[in-house]
Amino acid sequence: MPRKYFRRFLPNVDKVREVKALSMFGDTLFHPALWHLNRRSAAGGVAVGLFCGLIPGPLQMIGAAIVCVILRVNLPLALVTTLYTNPITIVPLYLIAYEIGGFTLGARGVAKPPTLPEWEWTNVLASMDAMSRWMMSLGAPLALGLFLLASILAAIGYATVRGIWSVYLRRAWQTRRHARLLNSNE
Protein backbone atom coordinates (compact mmCIF):
# COMPACT_ATOMS: atom_id res chain seq x y z
CA MET A 1 0.00 0.00 0.00
CA PRO A 2 2.62 2.68 0.84
CA ARG A 3 4.43 2.06 -2.44
CA LYS A 4 1.18 2.05 -4.43
CA TYR A 5 -0.03 5.12 -2.57
CA PHE A 6 3.13 7.14 -3.19
CA ARG A 7 3.43 6.04 -6.83
CA ARG A 8 0.04 7.61 -7.61
CA PHE A 9 1.39 11.05 -6.78
CA LEU A 10 5.05 10.82 -7.80
CA PRO A 11 6.19 11.57 -11.35
CA ASN A 12 7.59 8.87 -13.60
CA VAL A 13 11.36 9.11 -14.06
CA ASP A 14 10.98 8.66 -17.83
CA LYS A 15 8.67 11.69 -18.04
CA VAL A 16 11.11 13.78 -16.01
CA ARG A 17 14.02 12.62 -18.19
CA GLU A 18 12.21 14.17 -21.21
CA VAL A 19 12.51 17.68 -19.69
CA LYS A 20 15.26 19.34 -21.72
CA ALA A 21 16.28 21.78 -18.95
CA LEU A 22 17.31 18.88 -16.70
CA SER A 23 19.67 17.40 -19.29
CA MET A 24 22.48 19.67 -18.05
CA PHE A 25 22.68 17.57 -14.87
CA GLY A 26 23.42 14.44 -16.87
CA ASP A 27 22.64 11.19 -15.11
CA THR A 28 23.09 12.65 -11.61
CA LEU A 29 19.37 13.38 -11.18
CA PHE A 30 18.37 10.08 -12.74
CA HIS A 31 20.31 7.73 -10.48
CA PRO A 32 17.94 4.82 -9.69
CA ALA A 33 18.29 5.33 -5.94
CA LEU A 34 16.76 8.81 -6.24
CA TRP A 35 13.60 7.40 -7.79
CA HIS A 36 13.36 4.01 -6.05
CA LEU A 37 10.56 3.70 -3.53
CA ASN A 38 11.20 1.57 -0.46
CA ARG A 39 11.09 2.03 3.31
CA ARG A 40 14.52 3.60 3.62
CA SER A 41 14.29 5.78 0.53
CA ALA A 42 10.79 7.08 1.29
CA ALA A 43 11.56 7.79 4.95
CA GLY A 44 14.80 9.49 3.97
CA GLY A 45 13.05 11.59 1.34
CA VAL A 46 10.44 12.77 3.82
CA ALA A 47 13.14 13.54 6.41
CA VAL A 48 15.20 15.53 3.88
CA GLY A 49 12.10 17.43 2.78
CA LEU A 50 11.13 18.29 6.34
CA PHE A 51 14.66 19.40 7.18
CA CYS A 52 15.19 21.47 4.02
CA GLY A 53 11.69 22.94 4.22
CA LEU A 54 12.94 25.36 6.88
CA ILE A 55 15.73 26.74 4.70
CA PRO A 56 14.90 30.40 4.10
CA GLY A 57 13.71 31.63 0.75
CA PRO A 58 13.44 29.80 -2.52
CA LEU A 59 16.42 27.53 -1.76
CA GLN A 60 14.37 24.78 -0.10
CA MET A 61 13.92 22.54 -3.14
CA ILE A 62 17.46 23.12 -4.37
CA GLY A 63 18.79 22.20 -0.93
CA ALA A 64 16.56 19.13 -0.79
CA ALA A 65 17.72 18.00 -4.24
CA ILE A 66 21.38 18.36 -3.29
CA VAL A 67 20.93 16.43 -0.05
CA CYS A 68 18.96 13.72 -1.87
CA VAL A 69 21.75 13.28 -4.41
CA ILE A 70 24.29 12.98 -1.58
CA LEU A 71 22.23 10.60 0.59
CA ARG A 72 20.60 8.71 -2.33
CA VAL A 73 17.04 8.98 -1.00
CA ASN A 74 13.79 9.55 -2.87
CA LEU A 75 14.01 12.90 -4.65
CA PRO A 76 10.34 13.47 -5.59
CA LEU A 77 9.15 12.80 -2.03
CA ALA A 78 11.72 15.22 -0.64
CA LEU A 79 10.70 17.96 -3.07
CA VAL A 80 7.00 17.52 -2.32
CA THR A 81 7.61 17.43 1.43
CA THR A 82 9.35 20.82 1.41
CA LEU A 83 5.99 22.36 0.52
CA TYR A 84 4.81 22.20 4.15
CA THR A 85 6.33 25.66 4.49
CA ASN A 86 4.51 28.42 2.68
CA PRO A 87 3.70 32.09 3.33
CA ILE A 88 1.06 31.06 5.88
CA THR A 89 3.05 28.49 7.87
CA ILE A 90 6.56 29.97 7.72
CA VAL A 91 6.03 32.72 10.30
CA PRO A 92 4.63 30.42 13.03
CA LEU A 93 7.40 27.89 12.32
CA TYR A 94 10.06 30.58 12.58
CA LEU A 95 8.57 31.87 15.83
CA ILE A 96 8.60 28.32 17.23
CA ALA A 97 12.21 27.99 16.07
CA TYR A 98 13.04 31.31 17.76
CA GLU A 99 11.52 30.07 21.03
CA ILE A 100 13.43 26.77 20.80
CA GLY A 101 16.66 28.65 20.10
CA GLY A 102 16.00 31.08 22.93
CA PHE A 103 15.28 28.23 25.34
CA THR A 104 18.43 26.40 24.26
CA LEU A 105 20.63 29.49 24.61
CA GLY A 106 19.10 30.40 27.96
CA ALA A 107 15.98 32.49 28.41
CA ARG A 108 17.79 35.38 30.15
CA GLY A 109 19.88 36.38 27.13
CA VAL A 110 17.05 36.35 24.61
CA ALA A 111 14.68 39.27 24.19
CA LYS A 112 11.15 39.06 22.93
CA PRO A 113 11.06 38.90 19.13
CA PRO A 114 10.45 42.21 17.36
CA THR A 115 6.96 42.90 16.09
CA LEU A 116 6.09 41.05 12.92
CA PRO A 117 5.90 43.41 9.93
CA GLU A 118 2.58 43.95 8.18
CA TRP A 119 2.17 42.05 4.92
CA GLU A 120 0.92 44.22 2.07
CA TRP A 121 -0.43 42.24 -0.86
CA THR A 122 -0.30 45.34 -3.03
CA ASN A 123 3.48 45.62 -2.55
CA VAL A 124 4.77 42.06 -2.26
CA LEU A 125 8.45 42.92 -2.84
CA ALA A 126 8.49 45.46 -0.02
CA SER A 127 6.69 42.99 2.23
CA MET A 128 9.22 40.27 1.42
CA ASP A 129 12.06 42.70 2.15
CA ALA A 130 10.48 43.65 5.49
CA MET A 131 9.99 39.98 6.35
CA SER A 132 13.63 39.13 5.56
CA ARG A 133 14.87 42.06 7.68
CA TRP A 134 12.60 40.85 10.49
CA MET A 135 14.07 37.34 10.26
CA MET A 136 17.64 38.68 10.25
CA SER A 137 16.89 40.71 13.39
CA LEU A 138 16.10 37.48 15.25
CA GLY A 139 19.78 36.42 15.05
CA ALA A 140 21.37 33.50 16.89
CA PRO A 141 18.22 32.18 18.61
CA LEU A 142 16.52 31.84 15.22
CA ALA A 143 19.52 30.21 13.54
CA LEU A 144 19.98 27.63 16.30
CA GLY A 145 16.23 27.12 16.65
CA LEU A 146 15.80 26.52 12.90
CA PHE A 147 18.50 23.86 12.93
CA LEU A 148 17.02 22.16 16.01
CA LEU A 149 13.42 22.35 14.76
CA ALA A 150 14.43 21.05 11.32
CA SER A 151 16.31 18.17 12.95
CA ILE A 152 13.37 17.31 15.19
CA LEU A 153 10.89 17.42 12.30
CA ALA A 154 13.19 15.29 10.13
CA ALA A 155 13.59 12.67 12.87
CA ILE A 156 9.84 12.54 13.51
CA GLY A 157 9.10 12.30 9.78
CA TYR A 158 11.66 9.54 9.26
CA ALA A 159 10.40 7.50 12.21
CA THR A 160 6.75 8.00 11.22
CA VAL A 161 7.22 6.84 7.63
CA ARG A 162 9.33 3.86 8.73
CA GLY A 163 6.76 2.96 11.39
CA ILE A 164 3.74 3.22 9.09
CA TRP A 165 5.52 1.25 6.37
CA SER A 166 6.51 -1.48 8.86
CA VAL A 167 2.98 -1.76 10.25
CA TYR A 168 1.61 -2.09 6.73
CA LEU A 169 4.16 -4.78 5.84
CA ARG A 170 3.42 -6.78 8.99
CA ARG A 171 -0.29 -6.68 8.27
CA ALA A 172 0.27 -7.68 4.63
CA TRP A 173 2.46 -10.60 5.72
CA GLN A 174 -0.15 -11.71 8.25
CA THR A 175 -2.89 -11.50 5.63
CA ARG A 176 -0.86 -13.58 3.16
CA ARG A 177 0.04 -16.09 5.87
CA HIS A 178 -3.58 -16.40 6.91
CA ALA A 179 -4.66 -16.84 3.26
CA ARG A 180 -2.02 -19.56 2.78
CA LEU A 181 -3.19 -21.36 5.90
CA LEU A 182 -6.77 -21.25 4.69
CA ASN A 183 -5.77 -22.55 1.25
CA SER A 184 -3.68 -25.37 2.73
CA ASN A 185 -6.56 -26.50 4.99
CA GLU A 186 -8.97 -26.82 2.08
CA 157, CA 152: separation in Å to the nearest integer?
9
Question: What's residue 23's pLDDT?
Answer: 59
SS3 19: coil
Long-range CB pairs of 96-99, under 8 A, 24+ apart, other chains included: 96/145, 96/149, 97/54, 97/142, 97/145, 97/146, 97/148, 97/149, 98/138, 98/141, 98/142, 98/145, 99/145
Q: What's residue 35's pLDDT?
A: 80
Three-state DSSP class for 18?
A: coil
pLDDT at 24 over 60: no
Distance between CA 94 and CA 61 in Å, rounded? Answer: 18
- pTM, full prediction: 0.73
**If DSSP codes are grouped into helix, strand and coil, which group holds residue 111?**
coil
pLDDT tens profile 34-73: 888 888 999 999 999 999 999 877 789 999 999 999 999 9
Counting residues of the chain whose pLDDT is more than 70, the rounded percentage is: 80
Q: Is the pLDDT of residue 113 over 70?
A: no
What is the pLDDT, as a whole number, of residue 33? 79
